Amino acid sequence: MKVEVCEIEEIFLVNNDERWSEDKIKKRGQNNSFTYQRKYRSKENKEGDYLQEIRKPLTSLQYVTLREERTDPKYKVINRQRFTFVYNDLPYTIDVYDNLYERPKTYILRFANLQGVSGDSLIPGFLRVEREVRQDKKYSLRTIAQQ
């Protein structure tokens, strides 16, 4: 099985625009080659969905400037490794966080359940799931950045 590994850094920015519930920047890449992006996210509706999400590419200079000038001090910088692989024709990612909730390593499995079947039936047999955290706000990126 082929596995691709990348590094991800996400930073919440000071948000002074009422239209957006979230303004953050993201650096993603591997082997010292990175892409940079800024993401705005509107407020959630009653169903918990975001009405609008805008992603804009950034240059490395824009990223560094925003990082230095607009980082929100209420949030810490989030760094993680992402392992991506395909198993039984389904794409999976495993995000690995260091020192999350007093654990040296936390692994979060992510996959799309487009078939509408039990999520447990789609988890590869070589992985052991400790608990389901999909609806647990404790594992949202914003909450992780606030700890």
Question: Mind spelling out the 3-state secondary structure of the chain?
Answer: CCEEEEEEEEEEECCCCCCEEEEEEEEEEECCEEEEEEEEEECECCCCCECCEEEEEECHHHHHHHHHHHECCCCCCEEEEEEEEEECCEEEEEEEEEEECCEEEEEEEEECCCCCCCHHHHCCCCCCCCCCCCCCHHHCHHHHHHC
pLDDT(117) > 80: no
Q: Where are the domains of the chain?
A: 3-146
The pLDDT of residue 48 is: 66
The predicted model gives 12-35 an average pLDDT of 93
* % the chain with pLDDT above 70: 97
Higher-confidence residue: 45 or 28?
A: 28
The pLDDT of residue 107 is: 94
The predicted model gives 42-51 an average pLDDT of 73
Write down the pTM of the prediction. 0.85
Mean pLDDT score of the chain, rounded to an integer? 90
Instruction: Give the tens place of pLDDT for each residue, 48-88.
Output: 676 788 999 999 999 999 999 999 999 999 999 999 999 98
Topology, domain 3-146: Hypothetical Protein Pfu-838710-001 (2.40.320)
